[in-house]
Structure 1
Amino acid sequence: MIVRTLQDAEQSERRVVSPDGHWESTRMLLKDDNMGFSFHITTIYANTETHIWYQNHLESVYCISGEGEIETLADSKVYPIKPGILYVLDKHDEHLLRGHSELKLACVFNPPLNGQEVHDKDGVYPLLEDS
């Protein structure tokens, strides 16, 4: 059995802050936990916009708190994000994620992340080999 607290994970290498300062993600469950997915609690800071395009991963996101929006770039559709909303990037959807206020999100990735990934210049998380 695996038991972790968010508070402990936030004080470890499991907390990753984006180089641009738009978000932070505490990776509660990672590839080396051998569950087949990773689970993160991510904070999107207020008044930010992040370009994301998970070409190598599928992601589902549940909003715990805050408000924002997601805009899919293929069709320019804008979807509001608020507590209770789940959105699923099931087609590797390229998008802009905007935080109107601070957003707290629960995120699941498949395949799982190793832990230190950040978006590259195209908004992609690379597939990292095991360390």
Structure 2
Amino acid sequence: MIVRHLSEIINTARDVAAENWSSRRLLLADDGMGFSMHETIIHAGTETPIWYKNHLEAVYCIDGEGEIELVPSGERHRIYPGMLYALNEHDQHLLRASTRLRLVCVFNPPITGREVHDKDGAYPAASSQANATEMRGDQND
């Protein structure tokens, strides 16, 4: 059983920040769950281009308001507490925060926690099983 509290993650390697957001990685590939789960804070007044070409993501809003716009269609959806959106087709999108957004995000395959967004807003493709094995130090002899 894995038991963690957000307070144990803040100011550690699992607490990752960029210009528009911060992400507290609650579960990562090395936890062996087959998905990763994060609490993500999107800063008020920001717009972030994202395109997870190699991952599926589901996002549940806990607090705040904003908008997701699909690119290139321009289809928009309001984000508010209790709303979930799932990027089930590797959807390219713009994430806008009217106020500070507090989101719970789930990724499949799970991320390792070391990824960096590329120029398209994507994380690189990786074998989640290989990453989990590498991070645990498992041997497959």
Could you say which residue in structure 1 is the equivalent of 2:137?
A: none
Q: Deviations over 1:43-100 (max 9, x none)?
A: 0000000000000000000000000000001310110000000000000000000011
Number of positions where the alignment pairs a residue of Structure 1 with one of Structure 2: 129
1:6 and 2:6 aligned: yes
1:103 and 2:101 aligned: yes
Q: Deviations over 1:3-57 (max 9, x none)?
A: 1110111121000111xx1001000000000000000000000000000000000
Match of 1:41, as an amino acid? E
Q: Following the alignment from structure 2 to structure 1, what is the Cα–Cα distance between the partners of residues 123 and 16?
A: 13
What is the deviation of 1:116?
2.2
1:80 equivalent among 78, 81, 92 = 78
| TM-score relative to the length of structure 1 | 0.95
Could you say which residue in structure 2 is the equivalent of 1:89?
A: 87
Unaligned runs of 5+ in 1: none
RMSD: 1.1
Q: Following the alignment from structure 1 to structure 2, what is the Cα–Cα distance between the partners of residues 71 and 34?
A: 32
| TM-score relative to the length of structure 2 | 0.88
1:16 and 2:16 aligned: yes
Tell me, what secondary structure is at the counterpart of 1:32?
helix
Higher mean C-alpha deviation, range 28-37 or range 117-126: 117-126
The structure that is helix-richer by fraction is 2
Tell me, what secondary structure is at the counterpart of 1:8?
helix
**Percent identity of equivalent pairs:** 56
Could you say which residue in structure 2 is the equivalent of 1:115?
A: 113
Which has the larger Rg? 2
Q: Following the alignment from structure 1 to structure 2, what is the Cα–Cα distance between the partners of residues 8 and 126?
A: 27
